[in-house]
Structure 1
Amino acid sequence: MMFGKVLKRNEEQAVASWVNYLNQVRLDRLIEGLNNQNINFSDAINILDSTMAKINETIIERNRGGLKGMHGFIAEVAEYGVENAREQILGKMPIYKWVNDNGPADLIRDGVEIQQKFVNSGNHLSLQAIKQHYGDYPWFLDGVRKYQIPSDHYEKIKYLLSITEKQANKMPTSDGEFSLKQWKEVHEFFDSEKIKFSDIEPSKLSYKDVQRDQIQETIELEKYSINETDKSIRKDLYDKSKPTLKQGAQVAVASAVIEGGMTFATGIVKKRKSGKNIKEFTTDDWIEISKDSGLGTLKGGVRGITIYALSNYTATPAAVASSLCTASFGIANEANRYRKGEITQEEFLLNAEILCVDVTVSALSSVIGQAFIPVPILGVVIGNTVGTFVYEIAKDNLTKKEQQLIKQYLEELQEYDKNLDKKLEAHIIKLQEELRVYYSLLEKAFSPDYSIALEGSIQLAVSLGVSEKELLNNEQETDAYFN
């Protein structure tokens, strides 16, 4: 009887441990995903910062291209930086390379050479600039190469190609947005040139976005967009880590199969021990086994979904949830016996009390076993087996005083476990706060603004225990140190 009881408890706690494992896998994936996203976000922002710094240092400060051509060089660097940042925030590798050699290609994207044309003069939508480049390099479109123009130019060309001359003639021209002349120029370009519309692609930026007095705002807006993308990714990671109805149903079905199968096997073993061979089982024997198996299957399904719900939607450990389920079934059975007059009121109360202690020992033993043997299900089963055997032996053979000592010891373990949880939570909160401060200092220490970086480096060094006597606090001390 003791062995059968232990086997039953093991089955119950094994289901609980499996549910706990599923929950832990989701949480581990969430934490891993958030940690990776921290890196992706930091790298994406760093790419945008370095892009703006490169635009300032290599183009604006050097007046590269002059007032009329500067925006073209800015567009090349901005395209390269913005696209790489958008890939990085998604956890992908950068795809753009800035060629910067005044050759036939300005950018390379995943091996595809791109010539970028941001020209607004004459309102030719950058097409005349493409025509001139193609005349200089007639082989440019042999193979996989592309021309890239501002996104607003591309959309306007696309629209003009989609309407008839009659429609174009009816378009209002007072605001200079459209004209029949421009419609004709676009159509003649693609009718007469070897360049197809498919050879041209839109930049991620408009003509206005890359102007000298606008690029800083463009990069800042891109940072905002990156931040919004980051929030969306984190929300998606969190949503995926939530318990689902589908997984809950899978747990219920699996638990039902396990408990129903175990009840079926136990029923056959019980009949065999009574002296009957399987071939001697009567119809009534099989009906009894099937009835018990069906009830076991039902209980298993209820247990599975209950454990899943309690462990995910309340602060209830899976082992405790399983024990609560077992206690509920047991007390309901005892209540039914009491209603039928099979047991007295005193017996009902005593049986219910013993049942609650039984499942408490099972839950506590499973938790301790899992702690000492951190292997999913195995630790729970071993812990439950040892704990239940010890408890049964104590209950049957030890004095009331000894039983009280064991009970007191179990209560102390539970209290100790609660205290450890509180201390762990306090340490985690403290660690999170220290990490927040550390990342803040780290961000300042690597700021592109050297004055902020100097101040951040000093604060970071102090936070890491560097003596103030060894710090370089200003430019004079820095110059003196390196001289």
Structure 2
Amino acid sequence: MSDASRLVQSNQEQAVAAWISHLNQIRLDTLLVALGKQDLNLKDALGTLDAALKRIDLEVIATNRGGVKGMHGFIAEVAETGISNARSQITGADAAYQWVNDNGPVDLLRNGVEVQQKFVAAGGRFGLGAVAQHLEKYPDFLKNGAKYQIPADHFETIKTLHAMSPEDAGLLVRGSGDGYSFKDWQRVQTFFKQDNVSIDSIEPSKLSYDQAQRGAYNQTFQTEEQSLKATDQDLRAEAVRDSHANLREGAKATLGAAAIEGGTAFVLAVIEKRQQGTALKDFTRDDWVDIASETGLGFAKGGVRGLTIYSLTNLTKTSAAVASSVVTAGFAIAEQANRLRQGEITEVEFIENAELVCLDSAVSALSSLIGQTLIPVPVLGAVIGNTVGTIMYKAVKDSLAAHEAALIERYLREQQALAGRLAHEYQDLIQQLDESMSDYLDILDQAFAPDIAVALLGSVELALELGVAPDDVLDTKMKTFAYFLD
């Protein structure tokens, strides 16, 4: 392969790495943007909730609006507006509710839809009596798609009784809790028949009847605040999960790298055939087989490269440029290992070649990193950096003079001679050590022999062998008695 072809291939490899790095950066940037937006969403939602609570305190409670019997209705209107808007804002949506506050036929507006709220428990009709009265006063209220809104618990009861068959209703018995009676069922059925109102014209509030009472709304807002914060945490966790590496993006990186490297291999194979003097129209079947083989190999290597780079950059702290160089060096060393197995090169040549390809890969990685830093344009900076760095490295490597090459060769010969001499000296030392150890073990056996006389003589020899002064060795009865009795 020519130097130009190697440069093209190296640029293609680093371009793939830069592209995968860009994919990773996009996910990270998307996460940071999402978390920043969620900060604003939480701030807006809590601000809306706090403003609604203050409005209830100032415009309803402080003015005793609605009196004892009607105050909870106004509390429900303001609370519905604030809580609904806050729940929309926590997800990044716009506030949809507006409190009309004019004592007219419409209490709330939701994206242009008129809503009349009925928080009424009197009469045992779950607010349907109040709905009937409002319809009697404003018979055209529902014609434009308006809605009646009742407490969430009342709505669930009405929906159940509305769908209940007469046979099931006949079995109803008033229980001790919140069970339904046959009379309740009759009231619901009569309402929807006489007043010609569809169940679809009635919707549940965000609140139950008890949550809108004067003594309960503060707790309702506190509970809602905790719910908003929990939703915020869930949305942040979801954003983090979405930012993780995933199988779909990994497959995209793998197939993209395979296509790029396969295409590059195809072009380089065709160019190589043309440089050999064969016109494109004269390519034989064998030529195209060779080109297809190179292309298939490039496609396979590209797939491995893409998957490996994607995995290393996301599962470890490895940069894309370094990951690509690791893959390139791995392929090159594998090629050298195959040549070694085929007997084409020696073990020394294998090691030298492996060192060179690793050095080339390191230069390519460093050049790409520098280029991407100086030119922060995805892919372009890495390619330019790799091109400049590789050319400079090649120029320096080829500029070694014959004298410098001879010095390196002489140094290698001297090192080999030194290694041989040291190996010989090492063997001599090992032999001496073996002989000394053999003598020492013999003396040690005598020192610990079962025969006391042999053991005493062995102890004397052991002491002398270990360097004890002869005068200090207890080798006579007189020395022994003097040592223990004097």
Partner of 1:12: 13
What one-letter code is carried by the residue in structure 1 that aligns with 2:206?
K
Partner SS state of residue 376, structure 2: coil
Change (3 A) 1:263 1:124: same
Is 1:2–1:389's contact at 8 Å kept on the other side of the alignment? no
Alignment of 1:86-165 (within 5 A): 86-165=87-166
For 2:403 and 2:27, locate their aligned partners in 1 and report how far apart those are by CA, in whole Å: 45
Range moving further from structure 2, 243-252 or 378-387: 243-252
Alignment of 1:25-424 (within 5 A): 25-175=26-176, 177-398=179-400
Tell me how far 1:165 sits from its aligned partner: 3.5
For 1:65 and 1:402, locate their aligned partners in 2 and report how far apart those are by CA, in whole Å: 101
What one-letter code is carried by the residue in structure 2 that aligns with 1:286?
W
Change (3 A) 1:69 1:399: farther
For 1:132 and 1:8, locate their aligned partners in 2 and report how far apart those are by CA, in whole Å: 82
Unaligned runs of 5+ in 2: 406-486
What one-letter code is carried by the residue in structure 2 that aligns with 1:396?
D
For 1:353 and 1:221, locate their aligned partners in 2 and report how far apart those are by CA, in whole Å: 66
For 1:244 and 1:399, locate their aligned partners in 2 and report how far apart those are by CA, in whole Å: 52
Partner of 1:460: none
> What per-residue deviation string (whole Å, max 9, x for no partner) do you get for residues 24-78 of structure 1?
1111111111100110011101111111111111111222112211110000001
For 1:241 and 1:262, locate their aligned partners in 2 and report how far apart those are by CA, in whole Å: 31
Is 1:107–1:113's contact at 8 Å kept on the other side of the alignment? yes
What one-letter code is carried by the residue in structure 1 that aligns with 2:86?
A
For 1:334 and 1:207, locate their aligned partners in 2 and report how far apart those are by CA, in whole Å: 80
What one-letter code is carried by the residue in structure 2 that aligns with 1:40?
N
Change (3 A) 1:174 1:350: closer
For 2:401 and 2:57, locate their aligned partners in 1 and report how far apart those are by CA, in whole Å: 86
TM-score of the two chains, using structure 1 as the length reference? 0.81
What one-letter code is carried by the residue in structure 2 that aligns with 1:7?
V
For 1:201 and 1:143, locate their aligned partners in 2 and report how far apart those are by CA, in whole Å: 16
Tell me how far 1:401 sits from its aligned partner: 12
Q: Percent identity?
A: 49
> What per-residue deviation string (whole Å, max 9, x for no partner) do you get for residues 260-312 of structure 1?
22112111211221222223333333322222222111111111111111111
Is 2:173–2:182's contact at 8 Å kept on the other side of the alignment? no
Tell me how far 1:133 sits from its aligned partner: 1.6
For 1:126 and 1:278, locate their aligned partners in 2 and report how far apart those are by CA, in whole Å: 86
Tell me how far 1:2 sits from its aligned partner: 2.1
Tell me how far 1:151 sits from its aligned partner: 0.9
For 2:83 and 2:221, locate their aligned partners in 1 and report how far apart those are by CA, in whole Å: 8
Partner of 1:451: none
Tell me how far 1:100 sits from its aligned partner: 0.8
Tell me how far 1:324 sits from its aligned partner: 0.2
Aligned length: 403
Partner SS state of residue 52, structure 2: helix
Is 2:73–2:119's contact at 8 Å kept on the other side of the alignment? yes
> What per-residue deviation string (whole Å, max 9, x for no partner) do you get for residues 124-144 of structure 1?
211111122222222222312
TM-score of the two chains, using structure 2 as the length reference? 0.80
For 2:322 and 2:247, locate their aligned partners in 1 and report how far apart those are by CA, in whole Å: 21
Tell me how far 1:216 sits from its aligned partner: 0.9
Is 1:146–1:199's contact at 8 Å kept on the other side of the alignment? yes
What one-letter code is carried by the residue in structure 2 that aligns with 1:93?
D
Unaligned runs of 5+ in 1: 404-483
For 2:402 and 2:365, locate their aligned partners in 1 and report how far apart those are by CA, in whole Å: 22
Is 1:9–1:362's contact at 8 Å kept on the other side of the alignment? yes
Partner of 1:3: 4
> What per-residue deviation string (whole Å, max 9, x for no partner) do you get for residues 345-381 of structure 1?
1111111111111000000100110111111111111
Tell me how far 1:399 sits from its aligned partner: 5.9
Is 2:123–2:129's contact at 8 Å kept on the other side of the alignment? no
What one-letter code is carried by the residue in structure 2 that aligns with 1:265?
V
Q: Which runs of 4+ in 1 moved over 4 A?
A: 399-403
Tell me how far 1:400 sits from its aligned partner: 11
Tell me how far 1:186 sits from its aligned partner: 1.4
Range moving further from structure 2, 186-195 or 100-109: 186-195
Is 1:2–1:392's contact at 8 Å kept on the other side of the alignment? no
**Pairwise CA RMSD:** 1.8
Q: Which has the larger radius of gyration?
A: 2
Partner SS state of residue 203, structure 2: strand
Is 1:165–1:180's contact at 8 Å kept on the other side of the alignment? no
What one-letter code is carried by the residue in structure 2 that aligns with 1:162?
A
Tell me how far 1:402 sits from its aligned partner: 10
